[in-house]
């Protein structure tokens, strides 16, 4: 089962280690995390970070930044779909996801969103 968690200070080392494996595609995420930290403030370069975990191991991250931009890195489509679903519902913006379950329905696929 994929578990989505909103990341905080307790996850910073695990997140940094994961992102370092994808240096070429996570430059913005790593830079913003380094300069602004993981705790969201309504200020430039800050974001809310969500992690995808499978077997208690991080396998994806999605960052929703102060300016509305979304950046992500995942190992597979299931993690990406789960991250997008949980993080968009958690945002205080008007997102509408239509027919999302038909996109992610798979016999071995289940998602649990934790705050």
Q: How confident is the model at residue 114 (pLDDT cuts 50, 70, 90)?
A: low
The pLDDT tens digits of the residues spanning 91-105 come to 433 333 333 333 344
Nearest to 57 by CA among 103, 113, 115, 1: 1
What six digits make up the tokens of 74?
């995942």
d(CA 115, CA 92): 14
Report how many domains make up the chain.
1
- 113 strand-pairing partners: 4
Give the structural domain span for 102.
2-114
Q: What are phi and psi of 26, to 5 degrees?
A: -125, 25
Q: Over 80: is that where the pLDDT of 107 sits? A: no
pTM above 0.85, yes or no: no
CATH number of the domain that residue 8 is part of? 3.40.630.30
Q: Are 71 and 27 in contact (CB under 8 A)?
A: no
**pLDDT confidence of residue 108:** 45
What confidence tens digit (pLDDT) does each residue in 16-49 have? 999 999 999 999 999 999 999 999 998 999 999 9
């Amino acid at each position: 089962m994929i578990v989505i968690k909103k990341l905080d200070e307790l996850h910073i080392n695990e997140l940094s280690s994961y992102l370092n494996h994808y240096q070429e595609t996570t430059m913005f995420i790593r830079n913003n995390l380094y300069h602004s930290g993981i705790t969201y403030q309504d200020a430039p370069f800050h974001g809310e970070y969500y992690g995808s975990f499978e077997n208690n191991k991080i396998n994806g991250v999605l960052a929703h930044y102060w300016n509305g931009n979304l950046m992500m890195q995942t190992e597979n489509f299931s993690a990406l779909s789960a991250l997008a679903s949980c993080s968009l519902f958690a945002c205080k913006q008007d997102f509408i996801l239509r027919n999302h379950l038909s996109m992610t329905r798979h016999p071995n696929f289940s998602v649990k969103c934790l705050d």
